Amino acid sequence: MTDHVDSTADDRTANNAVRHKYRVLTEAEKAQMQEVKDMGAAFIAKLHEIGGTAPGGDRFASRDLSLANTHAEDAVMRAVRHITA
């Protein structure tokens, strides 16, 4: 079993213990999923910029920025679930 599998790869169940069956995504769906994830990452990077914290770190300057991060992660997850359902 591999440690990492690209989220747009057709073999993305290799490191997933819960969801055992996925449908094969179209190239358009793969692009949508990647775009949504990139947008989420850019937003989270902006939160770090606003708060003056380390990009990629798990600490935010305030509870509000931490909550914004949590909601951004949730929004990305739900959009990806819609695309991959």
The residues near 67 (Cβ < 8 Å, ≥ 6 apart) are: none
The Cα–Cα gap between 85 and 56 comes to 29
Please state the pTM of the whole predicted model: 0.76
Q: What is the pLDDT along the chain (85 residues), one digit of tens a residue?
A: 456 667 777 666 666 666 667 788 999 999 999 999 999 999 999 999 999 999 888 899 999 999 999 999 999 999 999 999 8
Name the strand (E) or helix (H) holding 40. helix 27-51
For tokens 């509000």, name the residue. Answer: 64
Q: Which pair of structure tokens corresponds to residue 40?
A: 């989420």
For tokens 């057709």, name the residue. Answer: 10
